[in-house]
Amino acid sequence: MAQRVLLIVSGGIAAYKALELVRLLRGRDIAVRAVMTEAAGQFVTPLSLGVLTEDHVYGALFDLKDEREIGHIQLSRDADLIVVAPASADILAKMAAGIADDLATTLLLATDKPVLAVPAMNVRMWHHKATQRNLAQLREDGIHVMEPAVGAMACNEWGKGRLPEPVGILAEIERLLAEGPGAAEPHPLLTDTTRTINAPDLSEHNLFGRHVLVTAGPTHEPIDPVRYIANRSSGRQGFAIAAAAARVGARVTLVAGPVTLPTPPGVTRVDVETAREMAAAVEQALPADVAIMVAAVADWRATDEAAQKLKKDGSGKPAPLALTENPDILATLGQHPQRPTLLIGFAAETETIIDHAQAKRARKGADWIVANDVSGNVMGGDSNAIHLVTADGTETWPDMPKTAVAMRLIERIADALAGR
């Protein structure tokens, strides 16, 4: 059966590109049903969208004829994926706040399907703190958000905020559709929000007011002014853990290596570049009740950072690169006079995962090791399958979104602190 996309077109000059997107989707045999916000009607017509989708175009919430034919709940659940393109600053704000004051936003609140938002707006609107806060919230809620393109704006300004080219949006849609219904992050209404609804009094939570220290991302170790040693860590798992801890009322310090992720709401972030800077920032943040060391810290750094860019000397021999081992932050905390009550490390392995994780737990003096197989595309990907190695043994968790791993780990930590 053909896959189905529900395309929500919000207002903005980029709305015309939604027509090209529909054409590309139809060319790939993907069925498209379109919903327009009132503002979108200023930029494209229902007629042109209807011709291209070969379907009725939906608009007003209280259109009795539409309600008789297809209810808005059904409309939101008939599709395999909901795509908001272009997503204006206004609709992103409404999505982040859970406002449902027209058909488009009602569908977004009622759906149980994955949602992809493709923002497009003026550069200043994009960089505004309110928009960035809303985007962080949406990502935290499991909405997939594409980065806008950089370039000239319709309003004669230049910068980030342009709608990505429709072929790029098509590629992202096909990627999400290929992941299937289980793999894409489920809509927040079905996961984390329910938890919050069930446990509104956060002061009862065992992590409320506790200090949780998290490291995340890679480190960059300079070789010369333009080159560095790095790794593929995206920082997503660490950021999701910091966000989950903040959500249950913990005081969170997130020491982040060089990543482009937004700071989760309620988290104090310290940006660092090298392993030594990360070690110093962690030391500075002590004492902590819980430390979760998720960062993929570079094991080695260049012994001497060259002051000038290294040059080829014509001999065909590469410049020598001497390496020195970096401080092990996790192991240092394991021995520290202010050792956190619960010290958790991560272990990215490509073979004999559990054996290595058990050995690492003992060697580094950690209480728990969260081990994962990084031979696939875990680094940078959306989901993670982990083994939790503790003094009591090993638990294997099924593959799930990194946000779900984070929430489950935070609940386990809260239980551990309560002695359960």
- 291-302 core/surface letters (b: 16 or more CB in 10 A; e: else): bbbbbbbbeebb
Tokens at 139, concatenated = 């990502």
**Which segment (70-78, 131-139, 228-236, 342-350) binds ligand C5P by CB under 6 A?**
342-350
Q: CB-based contacts of 255: which residues, under 8 Å, 6+ apart?
A: 213, 214, 215, 216, 269, 270, 272, 278, 281, 282, 285, 295
Considering only residues 204 to 233 of the shown chain, the ones binding ligand C5P according to CB under 6 A are: 215
Binding of residue 275 to ligand C5P (CB under 6 A): yes
DSSP state of 287: -
Helices and strands in the chain: count of H runs, count of E runs: 15, 21
Q: Tell the smallest beta-carbon distance from residue 127 to ligand C5P (Å).
A: 31
In the set 329, 342, 371, 414, which binds ligand C5P (CB under 6 A)? Answer: 329
Instruction: Give the torsion sign (CA, 353, 355, 358, 363).
Output: negative
In the set 347, 353, 386, 407, which binds ligand C5P (CB under 6 A)? Answer: 347
Q: Tell the smallest beta-carbon distance from residue 412 to ligand C5P (Å).
A: 16
Distances (CA, A) of 211 to 237, 246, 297, 404: 19, 10, 22, 21
Q: What is the dihedral of CA 408, 409, 411, 413, to 10 degrees?
A: 170
**Which segment (52-60, 67-75, 77-85, 327-335) binds ligand C5P by CB under 6 A?**
327-335
Considering only residues 293 to 312 of the shown chain, the ones binding ligand C5P according to CB under 6 A are: 293, 295, 297
Q: What is the dihedral of CA 133, 136, 137, 142, to 10 degrees?
A: 160
**Which segment (89-97, 107-115, 345-353, 376-384) binds ligand C5P by CB under 6 A?**
345-353
155 carries an active-site annotation? yes
How many residues interact with ligand C5P (rule CB under 6 A)?
Answer: 14
Q: Tell the smallest beta-carbon distance from residue 334 to ligand C5P (Å).
A: 10
Report the residue number, 103 or 295, with the smaller CB distance to ligand C5P. 295
Binding of residue 345 to ligand C5P (CB under 6 A): yes
Tokens at 270, concatenated = 């310290």
Report the residue number, 37 or 219, with the smaller CB distance to ligand C5P. 219
| Cβ atoms 133, 204 nearer than 8 A | no
Unique residue bearing structure tokens 């009322």? 249
Q: Tell the smallest beta-carbon distance from residue 224 to ligand C5P (Å).
A: 22
CA pair distance 315, 333, nearest whole angstrom:
46
In the set 326, 358, 372, 384, which binds ligand C5P (CB under 6 A)? Answer: 326
Q: Tell the smallest beta-carbon distance from residue 346 to ligand C5P (Å).
A: 4
Binding of residue 374 to ligand C5P (CB under 6 A): no
Q: CB-based contacts of 401: which residues, under 8 Å, 6+ apart?
A: 142, 185, 186, 382, 383, 384
Binding of residue 346 to ligand C5P (CB under 6 A): yes
**Which segment (42-50, 145-153, 305-313, 320-328) binds ligand C5P by CB under 6 A?**
320-328
Catalytic residue list: 155
Residues that bind ligand C5P (CB under 6 A): 215, 275, 293, 295, 297, 326-330, 345-347, 360
